[in-house]
Amino acid sequence: MKVKPHRPSTGEYENGQPAPNLLVYLLWLLVHKLVTIVEQLMQSLRQPFFSKRIRIKAHQYAEHQQQQQLPAPASKLSKVPKHLVVLLGPEPPLYRQLAQFIFWSLAAEIEYVSFYDHNGTIKRNCEEVKRCVREAPVEGKDRIVWLERSGGGSEADAGPRQPVGSGRTVVVGFLSPEDGKQGLVSLSRSIGESVRRRDLYAADVSIELLDSRLQAALGAVPDPDLALYFGDVCSTYGLLPWQIRLTEFLPLGTRLRDSTEREFVRCLHRYAKCEQRLGT
C-alpha cells in the first residue's frame, strides 16, 4: 500500500478555494458584538437626555411664549396649509406632545388640525388631548374649537362658540380608519340605497356629489393640505383615501417625542415651497 506523503496545510480546500481563517472570523464577530453593545448603551443614555430636553423646551415654550409666537421665519411664509393632519404610525400617542401641535398651528394661523392613527387610539382618547390643552399654562385657549361628530354632523364642544375658521381660531378634529375607507364604503351603500329607492337618479351621482357628502360627514372640514408623519416610512395608514389626492406628506423627525417647534416651522417652509401644477 502506497502511503500518500503529508503536505502542510496551505489554508485551501481541495477544490483550490481559500479556507476561512477562524481567528479572523472570531475577531470580526467580537468587534461586531462590541460595537452593537456600545450603540445600545449610547442610545439608552441619549434617549432620556433628549426626552428631558424636549420636556424642558416644551415647558419653556408654554411658559415664556404665552402669546404663542412661533420663531420669526414662520412669519415669512408665502402660504400655510389650511388643514394640517398629524399622522401617527405604530408608535403610541403622546397626548401632551400632540397638544403642542395645536398651539403651534394656532400661532401659524392654520385653521384646521386633525390627528390620525390607524388604530383609532387618539380618537377614542381625545379627552386626553383636551385635558393637556386645558392644563397648559398658555393664553388663547378660548380660540380652540373642538370638532365633535355625531351621526355625520358636527358641532363644537362645550365652551365658547366661535365661527369655524373665523379669525385666528383653530378647529381640532380626530380621525380614525372608520372615517376613511369604512366611511367611503358606508357612503357608497347609502347612495346605492337612494338610487334603488329612486330618491336619487344614477345620472346625478358624480364626483362633486361624493365630495360634498364626504365633506359633510367630516363636519365641512376641507381636504388636508399637509400631513406630517414620523420616521423613515411614508405611509398613509388608511388616512382618508378620497381626500388626500392633493395632500403633501412631509417627515417631521424620527419620533413624535422628539418633535420641536423648529422642525415644525421647517416643514411649513418646505410646504410653502411646494408647487402643485394639478396635472398641467
Q: Which pLDDT score, from 0 to 100, does residue 165 have?
A: 43
Burial label, 84 (beta-carbon count in 10 A; 0-12, 13-18, 19+): buried
Q: Do 233 and 123 meet the contact criterion of CB atoms below 8 Å apart?
A: no
Percentages of the chain per state (helix, strand, coil), in multiples of 5? 45, 15, 40
Task: Supply the pLDDT for residue 56.
Answer: 47
pTM for this model (two decimals): 0.66
Per-residue pLDDT of the chain (280 residues; tens, 9 = 90+): 555 554 545 555 555 555 567 888 888 888 888 888 887 777 666 555 544 544 444 444 444 444 445 555 555 678 899 999 999 988 899 999 999 999 999 999 999 999 999 999 999 999 999 999 999 988 888 899 998 764 444 344 433 344 444 457 999 999 998 887 877 888 888 888 888 888 888 888 888 888 788 777 777 889 999 999 998 888 998 898 888 888 999 999 888 988 888 899 999 999 998 887 765 5
Q: Residue 20 has what pLDDT?
A: 60
| Residue 251: per-residue pLDDT | 92
Question: For residue 75, what pLDDT is reported?
Answer: 56
End-to-end Cα spacing for the chain:
89
Kindly list the domain boundaries of the chain, sorted by start residue. Answer: 75-148+168-177+221-273
R_g (Cα) of the chain, nearest Å: 27
Looking at residue 63, what is its pLDDT?
A: 47
In this prediction, residue 224 carries a pLDDT of: 93
Q: CA 195, CA 209: separation in Å to the nearest integer? A: 13
H or E element that contains 124: helix 121-124
Considering the segment(s) 75-148+168-177+221-273 as one domain, its CATH architecture is 3-Layer(aba) Sandwich (3.40)
- Among 264, 280, 212, 220, smallest CA distance to 84 is for 264
CB-based contacts of 133: which residues, under 8 Å, 6+ apart? 99, 102, 141, 144
Rounded Cα–Cα distance for residues 81 and 225 (Å): 5
Could you tell me where the beta strands, DSSP code E, fall in 157-247?
170-175, 226-229
Torsion angle in degrees (nearest 10) through CA of 179, 180, 186, 187: 100
